[in-house]
A and B are shown apart, each in its own frame.
Chain A
Amino acid sequence: DTGVSQDPRHKITKRGQNVTFRCDPISEHNRLYWYRQTLGQGPEFLTYFQNEAQLEKSRLLSDRFSAERPKGSFSTLEIQRTEQGDSAMYLCASTPDLSYNEQFFGPGTRLTVL
Chain B
Amino acid sequence: DAKTTQPPSMDCAEGRAANLPCNHSTISGNEYVYWYRQIHSQGPQYIIHGLKNNETNEMASPIITEDRKSSTLILPHATLRDTAVYYCIVRVVHQAGTALIFGKGTTLSVSS
A residues whose Cβ falls under 8 Å from a Cβ of B = 4, 31, 33, 35, 40-45, 48, 56, 58, 91-93, 95, 97-108
Contact = CB atoms under 8 A, between A and B. Distances in A.
Chain A at the B interface: SS class = loop
B97 A107 contact: no
Nearest to A101: B96
B44 A100 contact: no
Nearest to A50: B97
A104 B44 CA distance: 8
Given A31-B97, A101-B49, A4 B103 contact: no
Nearest to A33: B99
Contact of B104 (A40, A45, A91, A104): A40
B45 A105 contact: yes
Interface magnitude class on chain B: 20 to 34
Nearest to B104: A42
Contacts of A56: 98-99
A108 B43 contact: yes
Contacts of B44: 43, 91, 93, 103, 105
Contacts of A98: 96-98
19 contacts: A4-B43, A31-B97, A35-B99, A41-B104, A42-B87, A42-B104, A42-B105, A43-B102, A45-B100, A48-B98, A56-B98, A99-B97, A100-B97, A101-B46, A101-B93, A102-B46, A103-B46, A104-B46, A105-B43
